Structure formats: C-alpha cells, structure tokens
Amino acid sequence: MTRSFLSASVIVALIAVAAPTATHFAVVKSTPSSNQTVAQVPRRIQIWFSQVPVEAVSQIKLTGADKAEVALGKVVADKESKSIYADLTAALRPGGYIVSWRSAGDDGHVQTGEIKFTFTPQKQ
C-alpha cells in the first residue's frame, strides 16, 4: 500500500509540474475585441496571447468589407505584455473589418485567426 501511495504521489507531482507548460498558444484578448462595434477609429490593433509571440512569424493584416487591405505600421511583438500590435496609418470608412493575425508561441507551431469588428462613427 505504501508503494501505491508513493507512485500516485509521484504521478500527481509530475502532472502539477507539467501543467503550466502545457498551455497552448491562444488569444487572450484583443483591441478592438471580437465582434465589437467601435465609434472611434482605433489607433492600434493589438492582440494578447497566452504565451510570448515569436516576432519573426507574427503578422497582422486589416481588411475592409470591400476586401481592400488597410495600411498598418510595422508589426511589433511585445514580450512583456505577450502581445503583437500594429498602428493604423490610414483612415477607416464606416463598415465591417477583419483583423487577420498569424503568430507562434513557445512550441513554434504557427497559429492563425481572425477578429471581426465594425466601425460606426458617432453622429454629431
């Protein structure tokens, strides 16, 4: 019985140690957030992840409803905040937009995704 208890204790300890490193690379939040309607043009597109993104493979693309790509500044990977971001360098027309992103985390597996938002300016 002591041997079984010891074996079980070792297994539980190994799982506890391995659990933090088993986290997959995933989006934690974004600005703008998914399906958000914004009244002001965001000055920056930023996506936070569960792991530090690899700058060499990180990309952000912004596309309007007309499928035209919107100009963005250089994509930056911020290790401290575990995010990638790019500043908007062009004006936005009212309508729907898709942020397409690409990056990788600790394991090196490249992930991609999309975040949709709508720009509806406030009427004055």
Average pLDDT per consecutive 10 residues, the chain (124 residues; last block may be shorter)? 49 42 83 97 97 97 95 97 97 96 94 97 82
Task: Please give the pLDDT value at position 3.
Answer: 56
Tell me the pTM: 0.80
Domain ranges of the chain: 24-119
Task: Please give the pLDDT value at position 22.
Answer: 54
Spatial contact of 37 and 118, defined as CB atoms under 8 Å apart: yes
Task: Please give the pLDDT value at position 70.
Answer: 96
**Residues sharing a CB contact under 8 Å with residue 51, sequence separation 6 or more, in sequence order:** 23, 25, 82, 105, 106
| CA atoms of 67 and 64, how far apart (whole Å) | 5
Task: Please give the pLDDT value at position 107.
Answer: 87
Which backbone phi and psi does 12 adopt, to 5 degrees?
A: -60, -40
Strands (E), the chain: 27-31, 36-38, 44-49, 59-64, 69-70, 76-78, 83-87, 95-104, 110-119
Spatial contact of 23 and 51, defined as CB atoms under 8 Å apart: yes
Task: Please give the pLDDT value at position 123.
Answer: 82
Domain spanning 24-119: which CATH class is it, in words?
Answer: mainly beta
